[in-house]
Chain A
Amino acid sequence: MEFFERFAIPHPSAPIYASMVAIGLTVIAIVAGLTYFKKWGYLWREWLTTVDHKRIGIMYLISALLMLFRGGVDAIMMRSQTAIPENTLLDAQHYNEVFTTHGIVMIIFMAMPFIYALMNFVVPLQIGARDVAFPRLNALSFWLFFMGAMLFNISFVIGGSPDAGWTAYFPLAGNEFSTSVGTNYYALALQIAGLGTLMSGINFIVTILKMRAPGITLMKMPMFTWSALTANVIVVFAFPVLTVALIMMTMDRLFGTHFFATTNGGMDMLWANLFWVWGHPEVYILILPAFGVYSEVISTFARRNLYGYKSMVASMVGISFLSFLVWTHHFFTMGQGALTNSIFSVTTMAIAIPTGIKIFNWLFTMWKGKIEFTVPMLYAVGFIPIFTIGGVTGVMLAMASADYQYHNTMFLVAHFHYTIIPGVVFAMIAGLTYWWPKMFGFMLNERIGKWAFWFIAISFNVTFFPMFFTGLDGQARRMYTYSEATGFGPLNMLSFIGALGLAVGFALIAYNVYYSTRYASRNISADPWDARTLEWATQSPVPAYNFAITPQANSSEAFWDAKKKGHELFKGEVQKIHMPSNSGVPFIMSCIFFIWGFSFVFSLWIPAILATIGIFICMAQRSFERDPGYYISVKEIKETESKLRGA
Chain B
Amino acid sequence: MKIDHSLPLEYGTDQNQLNILGFWIFLGAEIMLFGTLFASYFTLVDRTGSGPSGAEIFEITPVLIETIVLLTSSFVIGLGVHAMRIGRTKAMITFYAITLLLGLTFLGVEIYEFMHYVHIGAGLQVSAFTAILLTTLGTHGAHVTFGLVWGFFIILQVRKHGITPETANKSFIFSLYWHFLDVVWIFIFSFVYLKGMM
A256 to B166, CA, bound (A): 45
Contact yes or no, A134 B36, CB < 8 A: no
Q: Which residues of chain A from 585 to 616 have a CB within 8 Å of any chain B CB? A: 616
A437 to B99, CA, bound (A): 55
Q: Which residues of chain B from 31 to 53 have a CB within 8 Å of any chain A CB? A: 32-33, 35-37, 40, 43-44, 47-51
A140 to B157, CA, bound (A): 24
- Taking a contact as CB atoms closer than 8 A, the residue among B28, B35, B51, B132 that contacts A264 in the complex is B51
**A251 to chain B: which residues have CB within 8 Å?**
124, 131, 135
B159 to chain A, nearest CB (A): 12
Q: How many residues of A contact B (CB 8 A)?
A: 41
- Asked whether B153 is an interface residue with its Cβ less than 8 Å from the other chain, the reply is yes
Contact yes or no, B36 A240, CB < 8 A: yes
A-B contact count (CB 8 A): 110
Interface mask (A447-463 → B, CB under 8 Å = 1, otherwise 0)? 00000000000000000
**B127 to chain A: which residues have CB within 8 Å?**
258, 264-265
- Asked whether A297 is an interface residue with its Cβ less than 8 Å from the other chain, the reply is no
Contact yes or no, B36 A274, CB < 8 A: yes
- Taking a contact as CB atoms closer than 8 A, the residue among B22, B47, B149, B166 that contacts A266 in the complex is B47
Contact yes or no, A624 B49, CB < 8 A: no
**A267 to chain B: which residues have CB within 8 Å?**
43-44, 47, 128
**A238 to chain B: which residues have CB within 8 Å?**
32
**B35 to chain A: which residues have CB within 8 Å?**
240
**B166 to chain A: which residues have CB within 8 Å?**
626
Q: Which residues of chain B from 10 to 29 have a CB within 8 Å of any chain A CB? A: 17-18, 21-22, 25-26, 28-29
Contact yes or no, A624 B157, CB < 8 A: yes
Interface mask (B128-161 → A, CB under 8 Å = 1, otherwise 0)? 1101100100000000000001100110110000
**B49 to chain A: which residues have CB within 8 Å?**
258, 263-266
- Asked whether B98 is an interface residue with its Cβ less than 8 Å from the other chain, the reply is no
Interface mask (A615-640 → B, CB under 8 Å = 1, otherwise 0)? 01000100110100000000000000
Interface pick from A200-208, A217-225, A536-544: A200-208
- Asked whether B190 is an interface residue with its Cβ less than 8 Å from the other chain, the reply is no
Contact yes or no, A240 B32, CB < 8 A: yes
A174 to B187, CA, bound (A): 31
**A626 to chain B: which residues have CB within 8 Å?**
166
- Asked whether B109 is an interface residue with its Cβ less than 8 Å from the other chain, the reply is no
Given the interface pairs A264-B49, A267-B128, the reply to whether A202 lies near B29 with Cβ below 8 Å is yes
Contact yes or no, B36 A244, CB < 8 A: yes
- Asked whether A210 is an interface residue with its Cβ less than 8 Å from the other chain, the reply is yes
A259 to B135, CA, bound (A): 10
Contact yes or no, B153 A202, CB < 8 A: no
**B50 to chain A: which residues have CB within 8 Å?**
264
A133 to chain B, nearest CB (A): 4
Residue of A nearest to B33 (CB): A240
Contact yes or no, B135 A255, CB < 8 A: no
**B48 to chain A: which residues have CB within 8 Å?**
265
A542 to B184, CA, bound (A): 45
- Asked whether A270 is an interface residue with its Cβ less than 8 Å from the other chain, the reply is yes
**Nearest 8 pairs of A and B residues by beta carbon:** A265-B47, A264-B49, A265-B128, A265-B49, A240-B32, A240-B33, A257-B131, A244-B36
5 contacts between A and B (CB under 8 A): A205-B25, A210-B18, A244-B37, A258-B128, A624-B157
Chain A contact residues, CB within 8 Å of chain B: 133-134, 198, 201-203, 205-206, 209-211, 236-241, 243-245, 247-248, 251, 255-259, 263-267, 270, 274, 277, 616, 620, 623-624, 626
Chain B contact residues, CB within 8 Å of chain A: 17-18, 21-22, 25-26, 28-30, 32-33, 35-37, 40, 43-44, 47-51, 124-129, 131-132, 135, 149-150, 153-154, 156-157, 166, 170
